[in-house]
Structure 1
Amino acid sequence: MKKLFLLAAFVIGATFYNQAEAQTISDNALGLRFGGGDGVGAEISYQRAVGTNNNRLELDLGWRDNSDYDAFKLTGIYQWVWNIEGGFNWYAGAGAGLLGVDDTRFNDRDGDDGTYLFLAGNVGIEYDFDIPLLISLDVRPEFGFFSDNDVLNEFSPDIALGVRYQF
């Protein structure tokens, strides 16, 4: 019985020690998310910690202005963050966004102009340096809806590299 009590005390102590030593995320991070795929390209990215369980809210704003179309994209994602080891974390999240498109190629003959809603998921890995720098690589699948255009209703993966300053 004495050995069982000591074993239980050891396991409980080790659990609390590991949780006390676990990596915590920064309260705020601001930077850029360099995306690709069908996204609008680079986005200004802001992360804000919520709660005490390494959860956060990420807000991204991107825009593109070229000869084919003008577009903006605003995305909000709630993320759960888990420590792998040391400064390495992985995260997953879900959210939604707003996409505004002004097609300049065909004077809106194909009906792409407008504002659309989309749902988004997010899975990624990040490294939190000892200096206030956070680098991440993630995949954000997006699914647009409420559009007459089939292209804007389709699944669209967005792979991105993020570089953020933490404060």
Structure 2
Amino acid sequence: MKHFLYLLILLVLPSALWSQSNPNNALGLRFGDNGGVGPELSYQQALTHDTRYQIDLGWRSNRLDQANQNLFKLSAAYQWVSLLDGAFQYYYGAGTGVLYQNVDTGDAGAEAFSSTNLLFSGVVGVEYTGIEVFFGKPVHLGPDIRPEYGLGGYYNALVFDVALALRFGF
């Protein structure tokens, strides 16, 4: 049994150490106004050395003049990543998303309404990956701007979403 355990450690340890030095994933938060929705939960997955995709989920629930408003937004983007200098890199890309809005006035005489919108977006950002925490995994920290154009309902115009992202690589 001890030999099996030693063999297992010998086989698993090198791959675990290699994956720590080359994280392909990042998970964290993107703090911005998000076109009125608020902060987002953000996930990035590397596809190649120079490309990745990013998925963001934002939500907001608040009370507006005697009405309850709920917003949910899911967006995805394909990004190209290039090295600037050392631990600084920049990225740009394009994506799409969907936004759902529900407003309930709470008044029996007034009708609640909801809308679902399709979004098209671009993204440009800079990030710093030189901070390492949790077993040498990098922290991705940086600002970005994401112009979004919505079709109908809550988004019926061009909106510029400026944010600061904090993601942990793994």
Point out where structure 2 has 5 or more consecutive residues left out of the alignment.
Answer: 1-20, 133-137
Residue 137 (str. 1) matches residue 143 (str. 2): yes
Q: How many residues align?
A: 139
Q: 2:159 aligns with which of 140, 156, 159?
A: 156
Q: Structure 1 residues 137 and 110, CA, compared in 2 at 3 Å: closer, same or farther?
A: farther
Task: Give the Cα separation in 2 of the matches to 1:74 and 1:89.
Answer: 25
RMSD, aligned CA: 2.2
Point out where structure 1 has 5 or more consecutive residues left out of the alignment.
Answer: 1-23
Q: Structure 1 residues 136 and 105, CA, compared in 2 at 3 Å: closer, same or farther?
A: farther
Give the alignment's TM-score, normalised by structure 2: 0.75
Q: Is the 8 A contact 1:67 1:105 kept in 2?
A: no
Q: Which residue of 2 aligns with 1:20?
A: none
Task: Give the Cα separation in 2 of the matches to 1:91 and 1:112.
Answer: 38
Aligned letter for 2:62? Answer: N
Give the alignment's TM-score, normalised by structure 1: 0.76
Q: Structure 1 residues 110 and 121, CA, compared in 2 at 3 Å: closer, same or farther?
A: farther
Q: Which residue of 2 aligns with 1:46?
A: 43
Q: Output one character per residue of 1:103-144: Cα deviation in whole Å (capped at 9) or x when no partner.
A: 23587x799621110101000110002412110200000000
Q: List structure 1 segments (4+ residues) > 3 angstroms apart after TM superposition.
A: 104-107, 109-112
Q: Output one character per residue of 1:23-43: Cα deviation in whole Å (capped at 9) or x when no partner.
A: x97300000000116231110
Q: Is the 8 A contact 1:67 1:104 kept in 2?
A: no
Q: Structure 1 residues 106 and 164, CA, compared in 2 at 3 Å: closer, same or farther?
A: same
Q: Output one character per residue of 1:133-157: Cα deviation in whole Å (capped at 9) or x when no partner.
A: 1102000000001x2x4x5210000
